Amino acid sequence: MTEAPLKVTTRSAEETQAFGRRIGALLERGDLVLLHGTLGAGKTTLTQGIAWGAGVTKYAHSPTFVLVHEYGGRIPIYHLDLYRLDELLEVHDLGIEEMLEEGACVVEWAEKAPEVFPRDHLAIDVVPGVGDERTLNATPHGARYVRLVRDLREAPSR
């Protein structure tokens, strides 16, 4: 099953969050979203929108040295930021499988430990443009995410 990436251009942090909300509204237990993009591209900003869309009301920007934040929404949302990961062992200790049994995972810097994540996932590349412009490319890997991207195309934008 293949599906072309969904490409969305945003012009502010709020627009990126709005796109995140649409994703969050569709997330189910077991879903995995891997975010790619350079430092400051907008991955955390997108995650915030995803959390809100999943029904999280208390989103706090927490210390960056914490690898996992859990937010209670319609389902638990686990926000992982592996930027400061220096021991692969640490990520094995995090218990990705257990998190996916409970809720959905959104991961920044998954490239630090690519082998610990299931192959099926939604990949989102955040590409900075001129000024506040960002291009978000959402690419599905696996049947579940092909469906998710289809739903995302069809879902109303607000």
Ligand X SMILES: Nc1ncnc2c1ncn2[C@@H]1O[C@H](COP(=O)(O)OP(=O)(O)OP(=O)(O)O)[C@@H](O)[C@H]1O
Would you tell me which residues interact with Mg ion (CB under 5 A)? 43-44, 108
- Choose between 10 and 139: whose C-beta lies nearer to ligand X: 10
- Choose between 28 and 90: whose C-beta lies nearer to Mg ion: 90
Pick the piece of the chain touching ligand X (CB under 6 A) from 36-44, 90-98, 110-118, 148-156: 36-44
Write down the least CB distance from residue 143 to ligand X, Å.
28
- Choose between 36 and 43: whose C-beta lies nearer to Mg ion: 43
Which three-class secondary structure string do you get for the chain?
Answer: CCCCCEEEEECCHHHHHHHHHHHHHHCCCCCEEEEECCCCCCHHHHHHHHHHHCCCCCCCCCCCCCCEEEEECCCEEEEEECCCCCCHHHHHHHCHHHHHHHCEEEEECHHHCHHHCCCCEEEEEEEECCCCCEEEEEEEECHHHHHHHHHHHHCCCC
Q: Which residue is nearest to ligand X (CB)?
A: 42
Give the one residue of 1, 4, 7, 12 binding ligand X; rule: CB under 6 A.
12
Binding-site ranges for ligand X (CB under 6 A): 10-13, 15-16, 37, 39-45, 108, 132, 134
